[in-house]
Structure formats: structure tokens, C-alpha cells
Amino acid sequence: MKRLMLSFLTVWMIFFSQHLFAQAADDASDSVYDSGWNNTSNGGTGFGAWVLSTTGAAGHFRDSSTNNGFGDGNSDGDINTSGRAWGMYANSGGLSEAIRPFSTALVAGQKFSISMDNGDVQSGSNQTVGFGLQNSSGENLFEFYFRGGAIYYDFNDLDGQKETTVTYTDEGVVLNFTLTSSNQYLLTVEKLEDSSIEVYEGTLKNPAGGQSINQIRLFNANAGPDPFRNLYFNSLSVQTDANRPTVELANVSGTVANVTLLDSKAGDLGIVRIEVKQLQDATLTVDSNAASLNDVITKQLVSSVPVSVTATGADPRVSLLVTDVAGNETVWFFDFLNM
């Protein structure tokens, strides 16, 4: 995981909320796809037309994402809208690709979302399924994918390939990629089978064509034959946070930082739930109560919550998921370097 290099006692805080308005949105239920997912089709708003291509035994289609299961009695994923998702198959060395440009490049503060549901992927070094965010030259800036024979999903950025802690699932994942600066990002991965959420942050690759995110590339590289190895995507969107929640730094003393979580926007009624999603080398105290990894702290319509973070090791990091009474969720990431 990419670490932010911060000077002594410097505090880095980010709020990302779902007080958002859509800049672009599309899903497989759009009537444009009634006759299938075809090259140059262009449903929804805010995106350019699809550019679909194949090599060898590969193709594109529109169908239910529940068709990639193993017959194990599970729901086997449901990223459908009105029973539909975009599907990709590739076998016998084939490659299926789908590229879609953004009408305008992503800017800091915008969130790109996509749902992905992969089946089994045959083992081998060249068998991968996933997506990449690219510049206008088609160079990868960020990728998220699953490799055949692997246990965990991977992501790839300036620091190279890294494993997530998200294990394989044929139930689908929802991915939210928020650009936090011109070249840094925050990624949340929600695993639909158990609603667990993992949070990652990093820096975009820096190829010759620049770091402007201009398009998305979906790919199925030889996942293998049979329907249970098909790959599905759905629900593309680009959203801008119109009214972010705030965080106030009270003081920093030694390796302790005190902050206040606020939900004081017009029309909001207060914070009702705080979930600890990630805790490393730090002690987190909420309302004078120590919290541990995977703790859920329920509140009763409070507009502000005091939080104290004490660094206890060399790599302190805390990530929280804050929910208000209206169901708006905010990922709060706290990090400071203990030197």
C-alpha cells in the first residue's frame, strides 16, 4: 500500500461522502442495449461511445450476471439492473476489451464507480479479468483485477502490483475510485456477499502520456470456456461531491491527534454509526471509548463526535466509515507519520 510521506506531527485527513451529484451514469438496463452490447453503443449520459474489440475466441454480450455461478446454491452475484449486465467472454488465448472515454477527464474530488462480477478464472500467468483507468493515449494509470489461480484481487499503480485483502468471490464487488489530488486516489472495495468494505490509497502511474484519467478499459484476458468463467460489469458513474462533511483538528501533542467528526450540513440530522474499517499501529478513541478493528460504534443523532488517535507504531493508520441518519456514508482516512 502506498504511504503518504508526511513530516513530523503533520496530519492528513480526508472526508469522502455520498452527498454527490452525478456527472455521468450508465447501466445495462438502458434501452440502447436492448439489441445487445455492441460496438459504438452509447447509453446513459456523460460518457463517449463504447469501443469494443476482440482477439481470438472472445466476445461481448448482455445478460444476467447470475449466470457465472458454479451451481453451488448461492446467488452467484447480482450486479444486474433490470436483470441485465454487460458480459465478456474469452478463451483459447482470446482477449475481450471494452474501452469507454469520459466526456471530461476526472478531477480531484470526483468519484468513479463500477460494479464487477467475475466467475472462475483458469490458472495461468496470462489469465486476468478486471479494469483499468487510462490516459488519452491508452496508457494505464491504475488497474484492478483478478488473476487465474490467485486468492486475492490485485491493484496496480505507481508502486506496481499489490494484493488486496479481498478474497475471490463470484458474488460481485462494487468499486469506488475517488481522485483525491491530481495523482493520488482512494479506492473502496465492497464485497457483495458479506457487505465488507476495504479501503486502499495510492498514486497513479506516470507514463509518457500523462496522468489525466480520460477513459476506462474493461478486459477479459483468456479467463476460460464455459459460462461460469464469464466476466460482467455494470453501473458506471462519475460523481462530484457537492457538500463534503468536515473534520476539525483540535490539537496534536506528541503522537496524539484529536479531531472532531462533523455532520452539520443543512438538512442532515446527525451521525448514527461509525465503523472501524482499518486500524494499524494506532489506538483509536471515540467519545472516550477505545475502539478496535471491526468495531461498530452506534450513536444517537449526534452532529459531532470527538475522536483521538494515538500512534503506537511506525506506520499508524485509521480508516472509518461514518453513516448519518439519512444513510449517507463517508469514508474518513486518518494518517500521520510517527518519527
Decide which of 22 and 42 is more confident.
Answer: 42
Alpha-carbon gap, residue 102 to 33, rounded angstroms: 19
Residues 222, 94 contacting (CB under 8 angstroms): yes
Mean pLDDT of the chain: 84
How deeply is 249 buried, as exposed, middle or buried, from its count of CB atoms within 10 A (0-12, 13-18, 19+)? exposed
Alpha-carbon gap, residue 61 to 25, rounded angstroms: 20
Q: What pLDDT, in 10s, does the model give residues 204-224?
A: 999 999 999 999 999 999 999
Q: What pLDDT, in 10s, does the model give residues 278-310?
A: 888 889 998 888 999 889 888 777 778 888 888
pTM of the model as a whole: 0.71
Alpha-carbon gap, residue 151 to 280, rounded angstroms: 23
Share of residues in the chain with pLDDT > 90 (%):
50
Q: What is the DSSP string of 43-107?
A: -SBSB---EEEEEEEEEEEEE-GGGG--SSSS------BTTBEEEEEEEEEEEEEEEEEBSS---
Q: What φ, ψ does residue 229 adopt, rounded to 5°?
A: -110, 10
H helices within the chain, ranges in order?
none
| Greatest mean pLDDT range, 139-148, 258-267, 268-277, 324-333 | 139-148
Query: Confidence band (pLDDT; 50, 70, 90) for 36?
Result: very high
